[in-house]
Amino acid sequence: MEDKSNSKKAVETLQQMGLKEYEAKCFVALTRLSEGTAKRIGEVSDVPRTRVYDAVRVLETKGLVEVQHTNPKVFRAIPIEEAVENLLDTFESRTARLDDALRGLEPVSTEDETEVQHEVWALSGGRAISNRTHQLIEEADKEVALVVRSRALEGGELVEHLRSALDRGVDVVLGTAEEEVPDDVRERLSGADVFVSDLGWLSSSEYHPDDDTEISRLMLIDRQTILVSSYRRTDPGVSSEEHAVFGHGFNNGLVAIVRRLISTGVFD
């Protein structure tokens, strides 16, 4: 069962990295075989034999498969480490080309462009929300106030962005909603106001047993830009996607509410 699960994960990931289904299945099959003919590959991968040749031919052009020109032909996958590095290089190259192409696009102006005073945007996905959090911290001029779940500090990426803000003279206030701030984080953010927040009720199920929404992060930038993210409590082992809203504008009602909330016991 575990082997089938790993095979499925590998095929899906290879497809996400640009391989077609039959190509991915054939490559995964070959990583399980020391070598194999088209017939054997088809048996292991469940790919029709007539399609195996086309799939392996593509894998050969991508440098993922080696061929022995016997009768019948025999194929073998390159070592896994080399294959991963090969695919990563290809993926990064495509990403770089995409970046160049997107940045080269000219903006399209609208007929009625006016200065936006009230903005509230929604965003989903932990990685995307983390990236936006980091971006907003990088854009801060005076102050960053942030209350997060302790797990958001794991890995050190958020801490690095806060450290960078401190180094350029931005005031940083960091609170955790439910646990003491780790000593290494306090040391890394020397010069910041680091504390255990009184806003634990925002994310603790103890206060809201019938509400399965957990607040993951609450951030205020320069007292005018906010980001609030949440996820739903689920059974152990079941992941829940994070969702966020962020807004900007001194007259924005959402910003005003969060400013007053996070300012309680934080700002003078």
What confidence score (pLDDT) does residue 75 get?
95
What confidence score (pLDDT) does residue 107 get?
83
Q: Which of 28-32, 136-140, 171-175 has the lowest mean pLDDT?
A: 171-175
Average of pLDDT values for 40-65? 94
Residue 257 CA to residue 254 CA, distance in Å, equals 5
Q: What is the pTM of this model?
A: 0.65
Six token digits for residue 103: 């940045």
What confidence score (pLDDT) does residue 165 get?
96
Within the chain, all domains assigned CATH 1.10.10.10 are found at: 2-103
Within the chain, all domains assigned CATH 3.30.870.10 are found at: 119-263
What confidence score (pLDDT) does residue 126 get?
86
How far is residue 244 CA from its own chain's centroid?
Answer: 14
What confidence score (pLDDT) does residue 247 get?
83
Neighbours of 91 (CB within 10 A): 13
Q: Which of 121-130, 131-140, 144-153 has the lowest mean pLDDT?
A: 144-153
Q: How far apart are the first and last CA of the chain?
A: 59
> Could you say which architecture CATH assigns to the domain 119-263?
2-Layer Sandwich (3.30)
Residue 174 CA to residue 180 CA, distance in Å, equals 11
- Give the domain 2-103 fold: Arc Repressor Mutant, subunit A (1.10.10)
What confidence score (pLDDT) does residue 172 get?
93
What does each C-alpha distance from 77 to 1, 16, 24, 68, 200 come to in angstroms? Answer: 23, 19, 12, 12, 53
Average of pLDDT values for 48-68? 93
Residue 141 CA to residue 118 CA, distance in Å, equals 20
What confidence score (pLDDT) does residue 116 get?
52
Please tell me which residue, 196 or 47, carries the higher pLDDT value. 47
Neighbours of 94 (CB within 10 A): 12
Place 79 in a pLDDT band, splitting at 50, 70 and 90: very high
What confidence score (pLDDT) does residue 268 get?
45
Q: Which residues contact 196 (CB under 8 A, 6 or more apart)?
A: 175, 176, 179, 180, 181
What confidence score (pLDDT) does residue 201 get?
57
Q: Are 65 and 30 in contact (CB under 8 A)?
A: yes
Place 195 in a pLDDT band, splitting at 50, 70 and 90: confident
Q: What is the residue whose two structure tokens read 């996070």?
A: 262
**What digits encode the pLDDT tens for the residues 234-245?**
655 555 688 998
What confidence score (pLDDT) does residue 213 get?
77
145: left (phi over 0), alpha (psi -120 to 50) or beta: beta
Please tell me which residue, 137 or 91, carries the higher pLDDT value. 137
% of the chain exceeding 70 in pLDDT: 80
